[in-house]
Amino acid sequence: MGKFIDEINADKVISTVLGCSLRDVAPVVILSSADRLREYTLLCEKVIVEFRRWWKGFTGIFNGCRITVIHVGMGCSNVGDLTMFLSRSPCRMAIYTGLIGGIVSTVKQGDLIVPTEAVIGEGFSTLYVDKNSTPKVDLKLVDACKPLLHEFADRLNLDVHLGMVYTIESLAAESTELITQLARSGVIGIDMETSAFFVAATISKLHPLAIHLVSDSPPFSSFGESKDPLLFGRVWKSLPNLVLLLGNTLSKM
């Protein structure tokens, strides 16, 4: 981890970036790229504390378990920096949830992708690790979550895909040539944060898990086209509850 983080008092780090105390951060933290804090709060039995500084969020009780939820926004530096800051708190496991593009024919809009590894195509991670490294998730975490993922998929009639994703910093750089090359190399999805999240968590000694909703399929649809808006809407609405359940599961590990 960078010397900058190491030299700052932990209380100072968390109070500065979140506006709360160390004890307000739970061992399991959910990072949401979209601002869905109201939906998450309504699903919790109780909200213990709300905070707002560089990022906003809350810590609440879900199924008897303390969980922190933060709206992190989009982009590698946003997700990566916050993950590193969280390593100075009681957080030990982090779940990042966002949108992703499916780049193989078996991955459809409305499906879920749980990345097992992420190819680095962005600059944040190269500040800390070799650009040719491929950060991976602890498969024990994925295995623990499989029953919930399969139940969710069966109920909503969708598929959950485990596999390798590619993280890029610019949406405009997602060329047909690049996507074709990635698909041939075994990549199933492309997003803008996962590799930075995995790298930041790993070097900070946190346990990461990512779960993404497939928003589009760049090789098989035109820009902005929605193949099945009703399914996408149902999954989008149900996703916060699933992520909280996953957080509850991980808190027991």
CATH code where residue 16 lies: 3.40.50.1580
Rounded CA separation 112/165 (Å): 12
Task: Tally the domains of the chain.
Answer: 1
The pLDDT of residue 196 is above 90: yes
pLDDT of residue 47: 98
Q: Which residues of 177-204 are buried (b: 16+ CB within 10 A; e: fewer)?
A: ebbeebbeeebbbbbbbbbbbbbbbbbb
Q: Find all residues with CB under 8 Å of 94, minimum gap 6, and list them.
A: 28, 29, 30, 31, 83, 86, 197, 201, 206, 207, 208, 209
Closest alpha carbon to 44 in 241, 236, 238: 241
Q: Which tens digit of pLDDT belongs to each residue from 39-55?
A: 999 999 999 999 999 99
- Mean pLDDT score, 58-72: 98
Segments forming the whole domain that contains residue 210: 3-251
Q: At what angle do helices 76-86 and 194-203 cross, to 10 degrees?
A: 20
* Residue with the larger pLDDT of the pair 17 and 1: 17
pLDDT of residue 5: 67
pLDDT of residue 3: 47
Q: Which residues of 213-235 are buried (b: 16+ CB within 10 A; e: fewer)?
A: bbbbbbeeeeeeeeeeeebbebb
The pLDDT of residue 188 is above 70: yes
Cα torsion angle, 217, 222, 225, 226, sign: negative
Q: In this structure, which amino acid lies at residue 163?
A: G
Q: What is the DSSP letter of 249?
A: H
Q: From residue 144, how far is each of 139, 147, 150, 164 by CA, in Å?
A: 9, 7, 11, 19
pLDDT of residue 225: 62
pLDDT of residue 105: 93
Q: What percentage of residues in the chain have a pLDDT greater than 70? A: 94
The pLDDT of residue 151 is above 90: yes
Q: At what angle do helices 229-251 and 139-156 cross, to 10 degrees?
A: 140
β pairing state of 112-121 and 93-102: unpaired
- Mean pLDDT score, 227-234: 80
The pLDDT of residue 224 is above 70: no
Strand, helix or coil at 197? helix
Specify the pTM. Answer: 0.94
The pLDDT of residue 82 is above 90: yes
Q: Which tens digit of pLDDT belongs to each residue from 156-170?
A: 999 999 999 999 988
Tokens of 14: 């968390």
Residue corresponding to tokens 């928003």: 215
Q: What percentage of residues in the chain have a pLDDT greater than 90? A: 85
Q: In this structure, which amino acid lies at residue 208?
A: P
Of 58-67, 153-162, 206-215, 218-227, the range with the lowest mean pLDDT is 218-227
Rounded CA separation 21/184 (Å): 47
- Mean pLDDT score, 76-81: 96
Strand, helix or coil at 132? coil
Question: What is the number of residues in the chain?
Answer: 253
β pairing state of 207-216 and 112-121: antiparallel
User: Which contiguous run of DSSP H or E holds residue 168?
Assistant: strand 160-168
* Residue with the larger pLDDT of the pair 8 and 185: 185
- Mean pLDDT score, 190-217: 96
